[in-house]
């Protein structure tokens, strides 16, 4: 395969437009119980009756278990029809307060890997509600200690000597697999699909993240796509085969394996505009572990620069 100039690889016809238009609020509010919801619209722009699959893609730091599409996630849509989709948000109490985001997407039933994403939706998780101190537990513990005090004293005086401690074997660290390929790449951030496993990475532009054999990840910046330069929208990174994608603290192999082994790992993330590089772990189409070091976005520059590493170890 070889990348074409502007619209994908040489040979295939130009990609059609996206089958859906997804719209909704820029933010949703959560109540003191960390619950909230938002209404979105999915419009059929294919010119024919279709069935749409609606899904929620969590943003950085968020988890897919926080979100639920109310009602059926797959819906029949007539020509030029529009469906209203409600998304419920419920964040567990153990999650620290902070700012998070998600994206509502839609895909054709016959092409579930070709997801059309809506705008990024922000929400603020409040501090968890403070619970009243359970004084009854203190009373119960005091009563238990008074009842058990005599028995505990007898046991302490008559118990046999402890056996000598046994030495546990020192665990052998997992060796890091060999690197298959590692290099630096610059690409237009508006809409790009990339195959990282070739000796020379294959890049397709303006594909609307439609699946292409051999591609690993799709990159999309709505501001660059619409206006030609970056603004407020984050860079979206998604797997073209719905494999795992996760933001990590560093670019080490063990860190990526741990992040991608999480049962709640999603198939796409949003990269915030930070002054430091962002590490994104992913699984390639050939099931190898990989990591991207995405450089900060330069003002007014539509290209993004990444350093990528693909390891021999497989998921």
**pLDDT tens figures, 73-126:** 999 999 999 999 999 999 999 999 999 999 999 999 999 999 999 999 999 999
Which pLDDT score, from 0 to 100, does residue 15 have?
47
One domain, residues 49 and 119: yes
Tell me, yes or no, whether 28 lies in a domain.
yes
Taking alpha carbons only, the member of 217, 208, 213 closest to residue 308 is: 217
Report the SS3 class of residue 279.
strand
Cβ-based neighbour number of residue 299 at 10 Å? 8
Taking alpha carbons only, the member of 282, 278, 265 closest to residue 217 is: 282
* Count: domains in the chain: 2
Say which DSSP state 81 is in. -
Tell me, yes or no, whether 243 lies in a domain.
yes
One domain, residues 109 and 199: no
Which pLDDT score, from 0 to 100, does residue 8 have?
34
Tell me, yes or no, whether 168 lies in a domain.
no
C-alpha 124/C-alpha 26 separation (Å) is: 12
Q: What domain range includes position 83?
A: 20-125
One domain, residues 42 and 116: yes
- Read off the pLDDT of each residue in 64-71 and give the average, rounded to a whole number: 95
One domain, residues 117 and 191: no
Query: Is the pLDDT reported for residue 225 higher than 90?
Result: no
Among 50-54, 152-156, 218-222, the minimum mean pLDDT is found in 152-156
Q: Give the pTM.
A: 0.45
pLDDT in tens, 277-301: 999 998 988 888 899 999 887 777 8
DSSP 95-123: SPSEEEEEEEEEEETTEEEEEEEEEEEEE
Which pLDDT score, from 0 to 100, does residue 135 have?
79
Confidence band for 190, pLDDT divided at 50, 70 and 90: confident
One domain, residues 216 and 105: no
- Any residues with CB less than 8 A from the CB of 196 and at least 6 apart, and which? 181, 216, 217, 284, 290, 308, 310
Which pLDDT score, from 0 to 100, does residue 9 have?
36
The alpha carbon torsion through 14, 20, 24, 27 (nearest 10 deg) reads -50
Q: What is the mean pLDDT of the chain?
A: 84
Q: Check if the beta carbon of residue 265 is closer than 8 Å to that of residue 257.
A: no
Tell me, yes or no, whether 160 lies in a domain.
no
Tell me, yes or no, whether 144 lies in a domain.
no
Higher pLDDT, 105 or 224: 105
One domain, residues 83 and 194: no
CATH code of the domain in which 49 resides? 2.60.40.10
Tell me, yes or no, whether 29 lies in a domain.
yes
Tell me, yes or no, whether 166 lies in a domain.
no
Which pLDDT score, from 0 to 100, does residue 145 have?
81
One domain, residues 90 and 207: no
Confidence band for 172, pLDDT divided at 50, 70 and 90: low
pLDDT in tens, 14-35: 347 899 999 999 999 999 999 9
Confidence band for 173, pLDDT divided at 50, 70 and 90: low
One domain, residues 215 and 113: no
Higher pLDDT, 88 or 197: 88
One domain, residues 183 and 271: yes
Taking alpha carbons only, the member of 237, 249, 243 closest to residue 288 is: 243
């Amino acid at each position: 395969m070889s990348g074409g100039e502007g619209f994908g690889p040489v040979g295939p016809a130009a990609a059609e437009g996206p089958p859906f238009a997804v719209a909704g609020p820029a933010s949703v509010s959560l109540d003191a119980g960390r619950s909230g919801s938002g209404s979105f619209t999915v419009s059929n722009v294919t010119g024919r009756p279709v069935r749409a699959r609606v899904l929620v893609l969590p943003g950085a730091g968020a988890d897919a278990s926080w979100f639920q599409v109310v009602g059926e996630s797959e819906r029949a849509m007539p020509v030029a029809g529009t469906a209203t989709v409600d998304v419920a948000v419920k964040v567990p109490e153990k999650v620290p307060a902070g700012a998070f985001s998600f994206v509502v997407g839609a895909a054709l039933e016959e092409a579930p890997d070709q997801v059309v994403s809506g705008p990024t939706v922000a929400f603020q998780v409040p501090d968890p509600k403070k619970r009243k101190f359970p004084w009854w537990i203190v009373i119960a513990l005091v009563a238990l200690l008074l009842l058990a005090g005599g028995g505990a004293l007898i046991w302490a005086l008559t118990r046999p000597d402890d056996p000598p401690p046994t030495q546990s074997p020192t665990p052998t660290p997992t060796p890091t697999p060999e690197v298959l390929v590692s290099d630096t790449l610059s690409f237009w951030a508006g809409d790009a699909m990339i195959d990282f496993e070739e000796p020379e990475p294959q890049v397709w532009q303006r594909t609307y993240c439609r699946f292409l054999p051999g591609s690993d990840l799709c990159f999309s910046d709505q501001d660059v796509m619409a206006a030609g330069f970056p603004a407020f929208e984050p860079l979206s990174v998604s797997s073209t085969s719905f494999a795992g994608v996760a933001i990590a603290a560093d670019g080490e192999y063990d860190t990526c394996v741990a992040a991608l082994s999480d049962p709640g790992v999603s198939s796409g993330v949003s990269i915030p505009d930070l002054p430091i590089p962002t590490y994104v772990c992913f699984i390639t189409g050939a099931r190898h572990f990989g990591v991207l070091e995405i450089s900060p976005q330069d003002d007014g520059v539509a290209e993004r620069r990444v350093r990528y590493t693909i390891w021999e170890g497989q998921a």
